[in-house]
A and B are shown apart, each in its own frame.
Chain A
Amino acid sequence: METKYAVTVDDLTVAYNYKPVLWDIDLSIPEGVLMAIVGPNGAGKSTLIKSILGIINPIAGSVSVYGKPYDKQRKLVAYVPQKGSVDWDFPTTALDVVMMGTYGSLGWIKRPGSTQKKAALEALEKVGMLPFKGRQISQLSGGQQQRIFLARALVQNASIYFMDEPFQGVDATTEIAIINILKELRKAGKTVVVVHHDLQTVPEYFDWVTFLNVKKIATGPVKEIFNDDNLTKTYGINYKVSVQQ
């Protein structure tokens, strides 16, 4: 059986001020995988996600989502940005932030109504944040803010989820809660792509991995390619001692 690809990236090159951040990336993400993108700081992990989502314009290359350009397939894709990318002092509540996930399906001008509110409340329930729906977002802990972001992605009811460091600055309970939700998404046939920092947890959490350091080093099943060789190639130092398989 031929593998179906959720996302295909061809010859993608991104540069900031003429300095390449991503160089000639070819990447195919099979449908239904839970994939980690790993690599050192400055490897272009977030940039890769942002380029796929059209937030950054590449200087070369193309991206397709289920065979079509991203801007035709927006509704199939949900995005969880880095928690630090927004101002949490913004005057709004947890519920309202989750409702923002429904804006994409509404399109311009149309306003969210009771259907959207119901969906948002369900997503809050799923991440265990229903009791906090009315809280001002700055009054939430870091882990709770991350859960709100996750709920906002869930409410988009997408087929592909891109998450930029969802485990950064969250406590162990939240980390487990989040990974359980991600595993559920995979069980439901969704594709989940996560920028991830903690190499120790890669084999436990993910079934697919991409090594990235400006260039793509390797991509494939964790069982086959998550090894010292690729880690060393990606991070430039010998990982034999630090990662226990």
Chain B
Amino acid sequence: MSSAQIEIQLIASLVAVACAIPGVFLVLRKMALISDAISHSILPGLVIGFFITHDLNSPLLILMGALSGILTVVLVEYIQKTKLVKEDTAIGLVFPALFSIGVLLIAKNANDVHLDVDAVLLGELAFAPFDRLLINDVDLGPKSVWVIGTILLITLSLLIAFFKELKVSTFDTGLATALGFSPIVLHYGLMSVASVTTVGAFDAVGAILVVALMIAPAATAYLLTNDLKKMLILSIIFGVFSAISGYWVAHWLDASISGSMTTMLGLVFLVVYLFAPNKGLISVVYRNKQQQKEVQLLTFLLHLNNHKEESERHINHLNEHINWHKVKAKSVVELAEKNNMIVIDNQIISLTEKGKVFTEKAIDYIITNDDSKIESMKKDFFLFRG
């Protein structure tokens, strides 16, 4: 690996981590679309900042970009408050307008600089190592590393300091207000972090990948955990993994780095969506099938439990009275027999002791939703895993 390659991967990973953190909260606050809006509408701010400083690396650009990001949020909320349109419509109104102002500004005044629309949308990570930070002729590495590194450091400190405030205001705005944690301050704090991160990251990876890096890792992590801290950690892992593997895919295909990274983010989500242990598609389909079978089994056992008379417990009775299709009836009987819950004697089915205990515990659980007595059954039966 050349040092430029290492630097590109380092920048990509820093960007991924910096995006994943605000991304988790955006996803949980159902504000994923806002990141898309911010990523586009920072453009006029950047262009105006560039006109003022004539320096693409000035911190003023980041500030102006972030300000126009926050302006987007303010405008969206203002339009939404008029109740004339819903939030998604308000977002769709605001950011294309701001973005196109940026496009016009570039076309009229800045045609000959690196700030062109392609670079804004897709970024150019491959060039990032060429732009070095030099102090007294000492090479301190690519500027992007310092910019995004600083942003990440600020984001991390804010996250650690205000984790509990962010959590409570994301989960329950009303309670957060009543307890004295101003949700508005937290909301705009989060929007500012998202805006600054977007500006800091967009030069390296472009507006489209910034959105992907914010939303996809969080959405993927959401499928895997029920714990906010773990969700943050998993998002970071998915983001960094997609960034680095995306870089190598681009290298191998000789294609766009940001395009490959975004593809990897999509692939990681797809894999997790299919295979996640609880919320994954395959597991959901399998569980539904199993639960269906278990409910049938329980219905059957309950029937046996309720009827002492032999006529009700004859093997052919299942089809006649419970009105189950023959095949299903057969599979339920087989399942019950396999689990030693019933014995069949001369075509008459009786519950075993185990079957009786199982039926009673199951009914008790379904009525009370108290799972302390059924711990041992959770392993074998989906029905009892909540």
Which chain A residues have a beta carbon within 8 Å of chain B's beta carbons? 17, 50, 53-55, 71, 74, 77, 79, 81, 85-87, 90-93, 97, 100, 103-104, 106-109, 111-112, 131-132, 135-136, 139-141, 144, 152
Give 6 new A-B contacts, CB below 8 A, not counting A17-B83, A103-B164: A79-B178, A81-B172, A103-B168, A103-B179, A108-B181, A141-B369
Please, how many angstroms separate the alpha-carbon atoms of A10 and B177 in the complex? 21
Note all chain B residues with C-beta closer than 8 A to A100: 167-168, 171-172, 175
Note all chain A residues with C-beta closer than 8 A to B181: 103, 108
Given known contacts A53-B178, A74-B179, A79-B174, is B225 in contact with A91 (CB within 8 Å)? Answer: yes
Note all chain A residues with C-beta closer than 8 A to B163: 111
B87 on the A face (CB < 8 A):
no
Which chain B residues have a beta carbon within 8 Å of chain A's beta carbons? 28, 30, 83, 161-165, 167-168, 170-172, 174-175, 177-181, 222, 225-228, 230-231, 369-372, 386
Please, how many angstroms separate the alpha-carbon atoms of A128 and B214 in the complex? 40
Note all chain A residues with C-beta closer than 8 A to B180: 71, 74, 104, 107
Do B227 and A92 touch (CB < 8 A)? yes
* Nearest opposing residue in chain A for B171, CB measure: A90
Note all chain A residues with C-beta closer than 8 A to B162: 108-109
Note all chain A residues with C-beta closer than 8 A to B28: 87, 90-91
Among A17, A81, A111, A131, point to the contact of B174 (Cβ < 8 A): A81
Instruction: With both chains docked as a complex, state the minimum distance between the C-beta of B174 and any C-beta of chain A, in angstroms.
Output: 4
Do B178 and A74 touch (CB < 8 A)? yes
Please, how many angstroms separate the alpha-carbon atoms of A50 and B170 in the complex? 18
Please, how many angstroms separate the alpha-carbon atoms of A139 and B370 in the complex? 12
Note all chain A residues with C-beta closer than 8 A to B225: 91
Please, how many angstroms separate the alpha-carbon atoms of A112 and B167 in the complex? 13
* Nearest opposing residue in chain A for B82, CB measure: A17
Please, how many angstroms separate the alpha-carbon atoms of A27 and B164 in the complex? 35
Do B174 and A55 touch (CB < 8 A)? yes
Please, how many angstroms separate the alpha-carbon atoms of A109 and B162 in the complex? 6
Among B170, B177, B222, point to the contact of A53 (Cβ < 8 A): B177
Given known contacts A55-B177, A81-B175, is B369 in contact with A144 (CB within 8 Å)? Answer: yes
Task: Count chain A CB atoms within 10 A of each CB in B162, B164, B371 and give the residue with the most.
Answer: B164
Note all chain B residues with C-beta closer than 8 A to A135: 386
Given known contacts A108-B165, A131-B372, A144-B369, is B171 in contact with A92 (CB within 8 Å)? Answer: yes
* Nearest opposing residue in chain A for B224, CB measure: A91
Instruction: With both chains docked as a complex, state the minimum distance between the C-beta of A137 and any C-beta of chain B, in angstroms.
Output: 8
Note all chain A residues with C-beta closer than 8 A to B372: 131
* Nearest opposing residue in chain B for A87, CB measure: B171
* Nearest opposing residue in chain B for A99, CB measure: B164
Please, how many angstroms separate the alpha-carbon atoms of A109 and B28 in the complex? 21
